[in-house]
Amino acid sequence: MLTCPKCKGAGENFAVMCGPSGGRTGNVRCSTCKGAGVISEKHAAFIEQGEKMKQDRQSRDLSHREEAKRLGLSAAEYSRLEHGDLEAWARVARELP
Ligand SMILES: [Zn+2]
């Protein structure tokens, strides 16, 4: 297991949350490691892959929506891939020929 690069092992991140009573700030459970503070090496590889996808996309001057459309993915799903979301990568892997 590796230390989560997003929360640096804390398991939570400081965030601004918007609710019916207005915005508030606080710590939310880290979405990358799900609060564990650590991630698997496989997950780390997906995060790295997502980072490369983002750099590649930006080098072609495309928005994440345009790139998602090009790949036949929803913008939300594509965004999850760029963030190295383990479940999103698992879904994409299943759909590949
Ligand atoms: Zn984390």
At 19 the pLDDT is 77
Q: Which residues of the chain have pLDDT under 70?
A: 96-97
Task: Report the separation in Å between the CA atom of 59 and the middle of ligand 1, taken as the mean of its atom positions.
Answer: 28
pTM, two decimals, is 0.78
Task: Report the separation in Å between the CA atom of 31 and the middle of ligand 1, taken as the mean of its atom positions.
Answer: 6
* Domain positions in the chain: 1-39, 40-97
Q: CA-to-CA distance for 26 and 15, rounded, in angstroms?
A: 6
Q: CA-to-CA distance for 80 and 86, rounded, in angstroms?
A: 9
Q: CA-to-CA distance for 75 and 66, rounded, in angstroms?
A: 8
